[in-house]
Structure 1
Amino acid sequence: MDDFTPKRRACAAQTAVGALALALLSSTLVASPAHAEDADDAAFAGEILVTGRGLSQTPGRPAYSARTLERRDIISSASGRVEDVLSSVAGFQQFRRSDSRSSNPSAQGVTLRALGGNATSRALVLLDGVPMADPFFGYIPLTALSPDTLGTVRVTRGGGSGPFGGGALSGTIELESAGAEQLGLLTASALGNQRGESELSAAVAPQLGRGFAVLSGRWDRGKGFWTTPRDQRAEASVRARYESWSLSLRAVAPISEDVELQARGLIFRDDRTLRFAGADSASEGQDASLRLVGRGAWQFDALAYVQARNFANTVISSSRFTPVLDQYKTPAAGIGGKFELRPPIGDAHTLRLGTDWRRSSGTMNEIAISAFSGNVTERRQAGGVNSDLGFFAEDDWRLGALTLTGGVRADRTVISGGYYATRDAQGTPTGRTDYARQADWTVTWRGGARLALSEALAVRGAAYSGLRMPTLNELYRPFVVFPVVTQANAQLRSEKLEGYEAGLDLTPMSGMTFTLTAFDNRVKHAIANVTLEANLRQRQNLPAIDSQGIELGAHIAHGIVRFDGSLLWNESKVDGQGASADLDGFRPSQTPNFAASATLGLVPGEGWRLAATLRHVGAQYEDDRESNVLPAVTTLDLFAQIPLGGKASLVLRAENVIDETIVTRNQGGSMDLGVPRTLWAGLRWGM
């Protein structure tokens, strides 16, 4: 019996949100009086600039391959989903091609630079400085990240040091919320498509004294499209139904002239059905964080957060169409924080010193069911605790046209409390395995240089290393995509990356930028789903995955015309030895060797935005043995925002307008498909 009932979930969420709302309101009222009572208060108010952001970006960041997306690009995607926004960045990749309407949430891992191979994220995703990966699975709750409330997105490729660098194996994706000055008092949108599906979002962002608050929400629902090809549908086949909602409350208030308090609360829920009736999944979460940012002579950034997540999933037999596995509850908790200090050591240096800590815990609960009788055959439970304590130091040194940057990080990683237990149908214990504690210290580093040869040309180079712990999911939770079973592996080691890159930044004229980066990355002990038998796989550490490639970027803004393009070509392969020797030279699963995106936009007047995005993703393999191919795919998306008067606009969107067939899964000819042609129309206010 699942004791985490909908009623208890609702009560818990309401209690958390109510308490957080009261705390935010109280802090805002105390720290941000609506009226200055005397001349000193008035002068004090006039000197304060509340941004809602973290500390300014360091001068050494341009030494690494990076891309920044501005708000106008973020809110102009054809699907209105954050994964679609990120797909415009060369090297960004989800584990599968399906989006967050038509995939299992546990497959929503993201990575950069063709360093894939399993569904866990190898890139660090931050929202206002807080890691967003699920504490148990490592996937990103994409539906909870509304593009409408984001101000900027920064993607930095390559292994990371600095805060939370222990999760930045392939790079870092920093999502930064929009402030009240970007959102205005009220923003809202309502759209529908030809299948009768709807997307609603709204945000209220009032100025409160010297601070501000943002209350935002989003709701998506639809009967979904057919993910099963017509000739493979059975009586039990259904569309990919989905419904998701999220609610966020964020407040920012000044504590003094150069210190501000930022607080955030987020609750979300996502329900989906995939392929067959009854093949339902649900994910939900309640997150909260507090952040103090000081911008005085001694700058600092102090952050604390807590996350409560849950996941449920039902597996349906593809032959008898009855439940065979009920993963009814996977509660997980994440807590952590960081402290970063930037002492004043002169204008030429930006020194960062700090520490961070993360703890993830969770428990899998599932019931195995006979496909023939419908009776329970076994009850299983597994879980554990992972923790990472990190210390980091990084310095940027400016010497005229030359900028040098270097950093080092030490991580104390601990895997503990791991177990796997079974009971029979009546609940009598039948077995239990407790796994040994693993602990280690790992030192990672990064360094780079950028030299401006002229106003138009700069050269750069960097080298780095990175670390990623195995997730609780990889260590302890087996899973089934019927009929293929993938076993967990409690003996997994942490992944370690070493890499280097060199690049050029060309700015021949104002509004025109071209970038070229060549890279060579190697992930030792890469975790992959390795095939043991026809319908059996296990998570294992491969000796290494090597990835070499070239990234190209282009940005042109001239008059009413805007062009943004990116391209990634890579040669990614498994370095197999010993038990993995038969995989030597194979390309990692779900990893294309070519991807490109090009967006041509027009801004013919105030409030107008017209855009067409052409994307191509090369062929990739479903599995590690290169036995099933996912064909290359090219899609065209369209977007139009047409002002109607005042703050109102008409929005028209078209996903996959040429109705390209997108194969997202291929297991021996059994296929899933991605989004077909989808046409949206609706209204926006204030964006």
Structure 2
Amino acid sequence: MLKGIIRLLFVLSFSTPALAQAQTFNLPEIVVTASRWDEPRADVPQSLTVISRDEIERRGTSFVTELLQTQSDLFLVQNGGAGKNATLLLRGGNGRQVLVLVDGVRVNSPSTGAADLGGLLTDDIERIEILKGPQSTLYGSEAMAGVVNIITRKVVGPPKTALLVEAGSFSTRKASGSLSGGTDRHDYRFSATWLDTQGISAARSGTEPDAYTNTTLSARLGFAPSARTGLDLNLRYVHDRSELDGFEAGVGMVDALNWIQKRDDYLVALRGEIFLLDNYEQTLGLSLAGQRLKSEDPDTLWNNARINTTTHQLDWQHVLDLDRLTLSGGFAYRREAAENKDVFDEAVDNKAGYANTKLRLLDENLILDAGLRYDKHETFGDELTYRIGALYHFRPRDLRIRANHGSGFRAPSLNELFYPFYGNPNLKPEKSSAWDVGIEQDFFAGRLTLGATWFQQRYRNLIQTNFATFTADNIGRARVKGLELTAMARPMDAVLIKSSYTWLDALDVDTQSRLALRPRSKVVSSVEYTFAALSLGVEHIYVSRRLDPFIGRDLSAYGLVNLRSAYTLTRSLSVFARIDNLFDKSYEVAGDFGTPGFAAFGGLKAGF
């Protein structure tokens, strides 16, 4: 039955209509992550990538992890199939050194320091902004290698209802719906998504599938009492249930028949803004992000846990726009708490003040950016970070040149500080410094864009296990350098070609060995064809060999080919289908963990 549905959807998708209609490709013009306020993307000196809503819809993927895998400068480490724990590597930094935000609210775990992206679905996401390089000046701890800001949808217009149903391989089923609308005075969006899949075995050698179920509810409400004031409320709740596999000494990952993890993630964020003058804006943000995790395995003692974490945050920001000079600054307070039942129950506070300035010169072709931040952490004390950047736009040749330098830090996680027999309350923060230079140029009236960025970054005080004491200690150092190349071409209105390549040299300074799981090369290429109601796409992802010291061997290089298609039947109804891993390649992203083979999915979308 399911195979028949998939075949039908592909037949409909390849039924080319008689009339063609040109479709233009527009990159998002406004971004928020680079300076913490809305600004044209063309004014951003920092290295920034945006995954737009159009791209999200064209790809038709369900998970944020699937979107991030299509970026050559990012690498996802996932412990099994759909919904399993997934952390992000960026410019050599590990998951604890990349700050992940949802609508500006940090979701990195206070317990581990990393953000688990495995359960994030794409249905209510407007865009993802990826800001690369140290960004602690604006965002504080964890923003050592960069910031990933996941921004949810905000819709203004007549009331609209959207529905989606999907089914596919591994007994996957999905349904989602949303209701949205609004005016210049108020807006609203409510959405719900349910996904269930039998999945694959989380253990590479396992035979028992490890199922995953996700229910995501979200609401976004906006109210503007006047032209000078606004209030936004974001609510988000995710409940998921995941079957896991275990580790057996001398064997590796093996089936765990009864290990189940249940998780509740919740986020509440309130943000108010007021223009005291036409050019002076104040914003006050209050947020709570938390997680309740319950791990149960009747067959073992060590797989059972109850962990509750919360992050309370207050941020008061000021932005003063003086024509060619923009001044911004503010105060931030954060309290992180973790309760690991029968293990520890601890919390730490952090206070910070920050300032940033942006200057536009030479008919606004030259943009200078500089910032400074002071953090006061409860355990390790003071930390000062900075950033400087410059962008020059040589308009006669559509040429843009940028350069940046900055510093970052990561506060020790609560596990690293307080976990019994391992934690060390005397830990110092990890620190990083980096610079990058980049160039980007448009040719043929924007039909071809080429870009290149060279970066170098150094890490020190890295927190690792000191095997003399078997506790956490600041004993690690690393050096990272790399090259990012991008190309985008539109030879005709109906065809879009994109390719990106990242070369990375990530080295442990003390052991002179490669950093774990960082590929030296990653290439992502895609071709998209749009002809009136029909959309087709093919992409290839290549990842080179990676060192996995946890299993004592290199992981082989691999290449994956994915296909996607969509067809608009009427103004309110469309069908879509996609194939992942077309040639059923066997590969690993983390040693001994399973990865999906050939998979096909299809569904329908309706909007009223």
Residue among 514, 517, 520 paired with 1:590: 517
CA drift at 1:574: 0.8
8 A contact 2:332–2:351 mirrored in 1 = yes
CA drift at 1:494: 1.3
Residue among 187, 195, 200 paired with 1:225: 200
8 A contact 2:368–2:391 mirrored in 1 = yes
Deviations 1:126-163 (A, max 9, x none): 22221122332334353553322222221110001454
- Aligned identity (percent) is 18
- Kindly tell me: are residues 240 and 491 of structure 1, through their superposed partners in 2, closer, same or farther at Cα, counting changes over 3 Å? farther
Give the counterpart letter for 1:212 in structure 2.
D
Give the counterpart letter for 2:463 in structure 1.
I
CA drift at 1:489: 4.6
1:122 aligns with 2:97: yes
Deviations 1:47-99 (A, max 9, x none): xxxx9997312778531111112111122335421111122223222344745
1:634 aligns with 2:559: yes
1:646 aligns with 2:556: no
CA drift at 1:339: 1.4
Cross-structure match for 2:540: 614
Residue among 361, 373, 383 paired with 2:345: 383
What TM-score, normalized by structure 1, do the two folds share?
A: 0.76
1:514 aligns with 2:450: yes
8 A contact 2:90–2:146 mirrored in 1 = yes
Cross-structure match for 1:473: 415
The count of corresponding residues between Structure 1 and Structure 2 is 559
CA drift at 1:662: 2.0
Distance 1:215 1:208 in 2: 16
Cross-structure match for 1:657: 582
1:284 aligns with 2:264: yes
Distance 1:56 1:617 in 2: 35
Distance 1:360 1:446 in 2: 26
Give the counterpart letter for 1:393 in structure 2.
A
- Kindly tell me: are residues 406 and 124 of structure 1, through their superposed partners in 2, closer, same or farther at Cα, counting changes over 3 Å? same
5 Å matches for 1:411-450? 411-414=375-378, 438-450=379-391
Q: Secondary structure at the match of 1:591?
A: coil
- Kindly tell me: are residues 181 and 614 of structure 1, through their superposed partners in 2, closer, same or farther at Cα, counting changes over 3 Å? farther
CA drift at 1:453: 2.8
CA drift at 1:604: 1.0
Distance 1:651 1:141 in 2: 28
- Kindly tell me: are residues 315 and 595 of structure 1, through their superposed partners in 2, closer, same or farther at Cα, counting changes over 3 Å? farther
8 A contact 1:60–1:403 mirrored in 2 = no
Please tell me the root mean square deviation across aligned C-alpha atoms, in Å.
2.7
5 Å matches for 1:7-46? none
Q: Secondary structure at the match of 1:663?
A: coil
Cross-structure match for 1:31: none
Deviations 1:162-215 (A, max 9, x none): 542333111111222222248961122111113321122211103278311111
8 A contact 1:135–1:333 mirrored in 2 = yes
Deviations 1:314-348 (A, max 9, x none): 468xxxxx31314331011110021111124x211
1:147 aligns with 2:73: no
CA drift at 1:502: 0.8
Give the counterpart letter for 1:280 in structure 2.
I
Q: Secondary structure at the match of 1:213?
A: strand
Give the counterpart letter for 1:502 in structure 2.
V
Cross-structure match for 2:398: 456
CA drift at 1:520: 0.5
Structure whose residues are more often helix by fraction = 1
Give the counterpart letter for 1:631 in structure 2.
S
Cross-structure match for 1:303: 285
Give the counterpart letter for 1:397 in structure 2.
L
8 A contact 1:59–1:396 mirrored in 2 = no
Cross-structure match for 1:524: 460
Cross-structure match for 1:566: 500
Cross-structure match for 1:679: 600
Cross-structure match for 2:141: 166
Cross-structure match for 1:497: 432
5 Å matches for 1:22-101? 55-57=37-39, 62-77=44-59, 79-96=61-78, 98=80, 100-101=82-83
- Kindly tell me: are residues 617 and 196 of structure 1, through their superposed partners in 2, closer, same or farther at Cα, counting changes over 3 Å? same
Structure whose residues are more often strand by fraction = 2
Cross-structure match for 2:309: 332
- Kindly tell me: are residues 132 and 389 of structure 1, through their superposed partners in 2, closer, same or farther at Cα, counting changes over 3 Å? same
Cross-structure match for 2:532: 605
Give the counterpart letter for 1:223 in structure 2.
Q
8 A contact 1:52–1:262 mirrored in 2 = no
Give the counterpart letter for 2:234 in structure 1.
R
8 A contact 1:60–1:396 mirrored in 2 = no
8 A contact 2:80–2:595 mirrored in 1 = yes
Cross-structure match for 1:7: none
Distance 2:79 2:73 in 1: 14
Deviations 1:515-569 (A, max 9, x none): 1000000111123467x59xx9865433311100001122233401112322211
Cross-structure match for 2:8: none
8 A contact 1:227–1:239 mirrored in 2 = yes
- Kindly tell me: are residues 52 and 182 of structure 1, through their superposed partners in 2, closer, same or farther at Cα, counting changes over 3 Å? farther
- Kindly tell me: are residues 519 and 52 of structure 1, through their superposed partners in 2, closer, same or farther at Cα, counting changes over 3 Å? closer
Distance 1:587 1:182 in 2: 52
Cross-structure match for 1:353: 329
Give the counterpart letter for 2:557 in structure 1.
A
Distance 2:218 2:453 in 1: 37
8 A contact 1:68–1:155 mirrored in 2 = yes
Deviations 1:438-491 (A, max 9, x none): 23111100001111234421211110101111211333448xxxxxxx955544
8 A contact 2:137–2:387 mirrored in 1 = no
Give the counterpart letter for 2:502 in structure 1.
L
8 A contact 2:289–2:310 mirrored in 1 = yes
Distance 2:121 2:282 in 1: 28
Cross-structure match for 2:476: 543
8 A contact 1:461–1:502 mirrored in 2 = yes
Give the counterpart letter for 1:445 in structure 2.
Y
Q: Secondary structure at the match of 1:84?
A: helix
8 A contact 1:161–1:408 mirrored in 2 = no
What TM-score, normalized by structure 2, do the two folds share?
A: 0.86
Give the counterpart letter for 1:279 in structure 2.
W
Give the counterpart letter for 1:191 in structure 2.
E
CA drift at 1:599: 2.0
Distance 2:118 2:202 in 1: 19
Q: Secondary structure at the match of 1:85?
A: helix
Distance 2:90 2:67 in 1: 14
- Kindly tell me: are residues 442 and 172 of structure 1, through their superposed partners in 2, closer, same or farther at Cα, counting changes over 3 Å? same
- Kindly tell me: are residues 300 and 609 of structure 1, through their superposed partners in 2, closer, same or farther at Cα, counting changes over 3 Å? farther
5 Å matches for 1:239-318? 239-275=209-245, 276-294=256-274, 296-314=278-296
Distance 1:256 1:56 in 2: 19
Deviations 1:371-420 (A, max 9, x none): xxxxxxxxx41232122211111111111221111111111112xxxxxx
Q: Secondary structure at the match of 1:475?
A: helix
Distance 2:403 2:42 in 1: 11
